[in-house]
Chains A and B, each alone.
Chain A
Amino acid sequence: MNEHGKILIIGSGIAGMSCAVRCAELGLHVQMVSPYPSERSQSVMASGGINAVLGLPGEDDTIASHIEDTLKGGSYLGGEKAVTGLCESASDIIAWLEKIGTVFSRDSSGTVSRRAFGGQSHKRTCYCGAATGKQIVTALVMECREMEVKGLVERLTGRHFYSALIEDGKCYGALLFNQNTNTLETVYANALIMATGGQNALFGKTTGSTLCDGYAIGQLFRQGAELKNLEFIQFHPTTLETSQKKMMITEAVRGEGGRLFYELDGKRIWFMEDKYGPNGNLMTRDIVAREISAAPSQVYLDISFLDPDIIDTRLSEVRDLCAKYRNIDIKKEPIPVTPSVHFFMGGLAVHMNHETNIRNLFAIGECASMYHGANRLGGNSLLSAIHSARITAEALSECSFPDTVPDFSAYTEAQKKKLTSFTNTESNFPVSYIRDMTAEIMQKHMGIIRDDDSLNKGLEEIDYCMKISSHLKFDSSVNTYLNYSMESILILAKATLLAARARCESRGAHWRSDFPDTDPSQQYADIISYDNGAYSIRLDREHEYES
């Protein structure tokens, strides 16, 4: 083992910080890069909880059941070996989170509280009030700070990922854009770990952070990294529309007994219970989202019948959010809900150790595609963020790193010149319009229900945006990052549409009205690659990424 391995992590949310801490514990030196501190990461918005079978006396839940729920929720596209590892590690992860000081909610016996979540056979979602992500971030920031004080982790804020240093299929670090100095910085590393979250910017305003835009994986795709399962995009079924964004109403509301209905002729129709039985409101997110979008009128989520004390203790964030943004008192009235883009099951294709097809380039958290298959269970995203981080750190601790690094000076100088000559141009056409157009196209053609005609139309429109973008000069009215990120975001948008068009079946979160059935012959992940403008898609029939 090389104890002096230098690890570069892009992203400082829960996945990035978990990886940094574990790498440091294992003797690796870490540099962790993000434009802003961890408190601004999307991780703080993860409200629901984290799944784990704790193995407590008298518990009838089993790890096998967690594995089956996860595989089933993902329409059996999540690799069984990977999902088994995920579920088996869950109780250790909860113990670790407790050890580092996460403030979990506890029941009367002092045990970490658990609640039911959609698509699950047991109450196994451990939680911290309605702010699980925030509580974990706080504990992890403290843990990282300890590593920073000890000189094992170095935080580099004010920087964005620009590109990876790749030669002959191996990665040696990254070029970073320093937003304070407006310059590119070369950082060599033995391994580059991407922890950049989902690709929200493809869809404009979603339930997530405006900072997660997909640029990094779009850029790596252009540099030869393969992407997987891009068409599987989870729409959270219950979000509250406000003028600034769609705000997620956590699944915990339904976990606590919340019921969905619409009104017909003055009568409440409990459509989920009518169609799927007493537990209908807890069906998986894809089913609930489709049923809500198919409802004939505005759908509401009712929790007003619940004991107000339970609302105050377990759902206080939902209570406050509805009151603040829409003046709704959830103790007295139902919440109007609509589905919204929420989570990307697709991302960088990774092997079991979370390494991509490019040696020494790893991906963790939401930007990696591994565990969730065609759809993700609530409570599994935080789990996979931490599990993937730990798996990666442990894999790195076993590596021996070469002492020699290829000479990237020609590449870095060329990129610096390219960026400088770009920023020296001046455009009257705002790059933000292209971003908005991209989001409109994706919302329209990559929504909950898709078909070949619409996807083709979306591809035509994205091609048009790419054509405009290729002629764009620098828009000095916004920052440099927004300018240089556009092209890779568009390429990622095109890859996503192509993946959706290629999957001629309905499975999990991918619903094709022209192919409404699930086709057993397509029960494989799909991989898309890029070579100088050419996109190639294949089904992973040999399970090459499950090794």
Chain B
Amino acid sequence: MNMKVKILRKKNPGSESYWETFAYNGPENNSIAGVLDYLNYHDDPVNVQGKVSDRITWECSCLQGECGACAMVINGVPALACETFLRDLKGSEIVLQPLRKFPVVCDLAVDRSSMQENLKKTNAYIGDYIPSPGEDHTHQYNAAKCLKCGLCLEVCPNYVNGNTFYGAAFANDCYLIYARNKDKAGDIRKVYGEHFAAGCSKSLSCVDVCPVGIPTLASMAKLNR
């Protein structure tokens, strides 16, 4: 398979971004994670100008869609690199960019710590589980699957890193707390209202992009009730 892989790179947080293109001649059944691995380790990475380049930095851990590390923008679409396959991409060029809503650390790796910080500063934790009748365990299970990958924030028209609207990942954690500890229901609905409901324009792009299929709309419906 002969493809071009164009990557928006950056050496460190303080440096300028630049584009660099590589030729990919590896297996055609690869995922984007496999492509990056191939470019990095099949041989020394040589760009299309024939110059040996630094290996491409990107985050990975599980390589099977369970940890959220490899979220990036692939041909303009935010997705997990390990779950995006060449067979599903059109054209002979792949364009890779880091998530745009977060500060870039290096190349395709970004700093998503604001997601954790937002949850921390709003006291978003369950405390003690208090069972209640008629619990929707299935939805609780789904909400608890959130990878904190940041894809929902990347596509959200309302989310700006550093602002007071915290996005879908926050809303789903709020739902989980609300559902598991009724004693915290009042407090958590208050911060949910302040940091999610007040700013959500219901584009629901977060639902479509979620790699684990969390039905955020159901979380919102339960919290808005």
Taking a contact as CB atoms under 8 Å apart, the answer to whether A134 and B68 are in contact is no
Bound Cα distance A131, B37 (Å): 27
Asked if B145 and A134 sit within 8 Å, CB to CB, the answer is yes
Other-chain residue from A106, A138, A148, A476 in contact with B54 (beta carbon distance below 8 A) = A476
Question: Is A432's CB under 8 angstroms from B30's CB?
Answer: no
> Chain A's nearest CB lies how many Å from the CB of B20?
13
Q: Please measure, in the bound complex, the distance between the C-alpha atom of A100 and the C-alpha atom of B129, giving whole angstroms.
A: 6
Contact, CB under 8 Å: B34 / A142: no
B50-73 residues with Cβ-Cβ distance < 8 A to A are 53-55, 57, 59-69
* Interface size bracket, A side: 35 or more
Task: Check if A210 sits within 8 Å of B61, measured CB to CB.
Answer: yes
Residue of B nearest to A47 (CB): B66
Confirm or deny: B208 has a beta carbon within 8 angstroms of a beta carbon on chain A: no
**Which residues of A from 204 to 221 have beta carbons under 8 Å from B?**
205, 209-211
B residues in contact with A105, CB < 8 Å: 137, 141
B189 at the binding interface (Cβ < 8 Å): no
Dominant secondary structure of chain B at its interface with chain A: loop
B95 within 8 A of A: no
Contact among B60, B65, B123, B129 for A99, CB-based, below 8 A = B129
CB distance from A342 to the nearest CB of B (A): 14
State whether the Cβ of A75 lies closer than 8 Å to any Cβ in chain B. Answer: no
B162 at the interface (CB under 8 A from A): no
Could you tell me the distance between the alpha carbons of A80 and B40 in the complex, rounded to whole angstroms?
47
- Asked if A98 is an interface residue, CB under 8 A from chain B, the answer is yes
| Residue numbers in A under 8 Å from B63 (CB-CB) | 205, 210, 244-245
Task: Find chain B residues with CB under 8 A from A39 CB.
Answer: 67-68, 147-148
A430 within 8 A of B: yes
Of A101, A138, A143, A432, the residue contacting B41 (CB under 8 A) is A432
Partner among B54, B60, B137, B146 whose Cβ is within 8 Å of the Cβ of A210: B60
| B141/A103 in contact, CB under 8 A | yes
| Residue-wise interface mask of A (205-246) relative to B, using a CB-CB cutoff of 8 A (1 in contact, 0 not) | 100011100000000000000000000000000000001110
Which stretch in B2-10, B153-161, B175-183, B197-205 binds the other chain?
A: B175-183
Which A residues are CB-close (under 8 A) to B29? 243
A41: which of B30, B37, B61, B83 is its contact (CB, 8 Å)?
B61
User: Does A146 contact B67, Cβ atoms closer than 8 Å?
Assistant: no
Given contacts A243-B34, A247-B64, contact A145 B181 (CB under 8 A): no
Q: Which residues of A contact B146 (CB under 8 A)?
A: 138
List residues of chain A with CB within 8 A of the CB of B123. 146, 149
A463 close to chain B: CB less than 8 A? no
A29-50 CB mask vs B (1 if < 8 Å, else 0) is 0000000110111101100000
Q: Is B124 an interface residue (CB 8 A)?
A: yes
> Does A408 sit within 8 A of B, measured CB to CB?
no
> CA A37 – CA B65 in complex, angstroms?
16
Contact A40 B67 (CB under 8 A): yes
> Which of A37, A99, A245, A477 is the one whose CB lies under 8 Å from B55?
A477
Instruction: Say if the beta carbon of A276 comes within 8 Å of chain B.
Output: no
CB of B78 to closest CB in A, whole Å:
17
Are A479 and B64 within 8 A (Cβ)? no
CB neighbours (8 Å) of B44 from chain A are 430, 477
CA of A477 to CA of B45, assembled, Å: 9
Assess whether A321 is interfacial by the CB under 8 Å rule.
yes
Q: Tell me if A243 and B31 are in contact (CB < 8 A).
A: yes
Residues of A within 8 Å of B148, CB to CB, are 37, 39
CB distance from B82 to the nearest CB of A (A): 7
**How many angstroms between the C-alpha atoms of A103 and B180 in the bound complex?**
9
Contact A324 B41 (CB under 8 A): no
> When A139-B126, A245-B63 are in contact, do A436 and B41 touch as well, CB less than 8 Å?
yes
Task: Bits for A98-121, please: 1 = Cβ < 8 Å to B, else 0.
Answer: 111111011000000000000000
Report the Cα distance A321→B119, complex, angstroms: 30
**A478 sits at the interface (CB 8 A):** yes
Q: Which residues of B contact A379 (CB under 8 A)?
A: none
Task: Please indicate the chain A residues that have their CB under 8 angstroms from the CB of B67 in the complex.
Answer: 39-41, 44-45, 209
Give min CB distance, B112 to chain A, whole Å.
8
Residues of A near B61 (CB, < 8 A) are 36, 40-42, 209-211
Residues of A within 8 A of B125 (CB): 142-143, 145-146, 149
Q: A128-B141, A478-B55 are in contact. Are A36 and B69 (CB under 8 A)?
A: yes
Chain A residues near B177 (CB-CB < 8 A): 142
A325 lies within 8 A of B64 (CB): yes
Evaluate contact between B31 and A244: CB separation under 8 angstroms.
yes
CA of A98 to CA of B181, assembled, Å: 12
Contact of B124 among A134, A145, A478 (CB under 8 A): A145
The answer for the CA separation of A347 and B210 in the assembled complex, in Å, is 37
Min distance, Cβ A340 to any Cβ of chain B, angstroms: 13
Q: Please measure, in the bound complex, the distance between the C-alpha atom of A157 and the C-alpha atom of B109, giving whole angstroms.
A: 14
Q: Which chain A residue lies CB-closest to B144?
A: A138
Chain A positions within 8 Å of B40 at CB level: 432
Chain B window 13-54, contacts with chain A (Cβ cutoff 8 Å), 1 for yes, 0 for no: 100000000000001011101100100110011000000011
> Min CB distance, B186 to chain A, in Å?
17
B106 to chain A, nearest CB (A): 8
A135 at the binding interface (Cβ < 8 Å): yes
CB distance from A317 to the nearest CB of B (A): 8
Q: Tell whether A135 pairs with B64 under 8 Å between CB atoms, given A146-B125, A243-B34.
A: no
Contacts of A99 in B (CB 8 A): 128-129
| A404: Cβ under 8 A from any B Cβ | no
Docked-complex contact A44 and B120, CB < 8 angstroms: no
Residue B113, interface by CB 8 Å? yes
24 residue pairs from A and B, CB less than 8 Å apart: A36-B59, A37-B112, A40-B61, A44-B67, A45-B67, A99-B129, A103-B137, A103-B144, A105-B137, A128-B141, A135-B141, A138-B144, A138-B176, A142-B177, A145-B125, A149-B120, A180-B13, A210-B61, A324-B65, A430-B44, A432-B55, A477-B44, A477-B54, A479-B57
Residues of B within 8 A of A (CB): 13, 27, 29-31, 33-34, 37, 40-41, 44-45, 53-55, 57, 59-69, 82-83, 105, 112-113, 116, 119-120, 123-129, 137, 140-141, 144-148, 173, 176-177, 180-181
Q: List A residues at the B interface (Cβ < 8 Å).
A: 36-37, 39-42, 44-45, 98-103, 105-106, 128-129, 131, 134-135, 138-139, 142-143, 145-146, 148-149, 155, 157, 180, 205, 209-211, 243-245, 247, 321, 324-325, 430, 432, 436, 476-479
- Lowest 5 CB-CB distances: which A-B pairs, in order? A101-B126, A138-B144, A146-B125, A142-B125, A101-B129
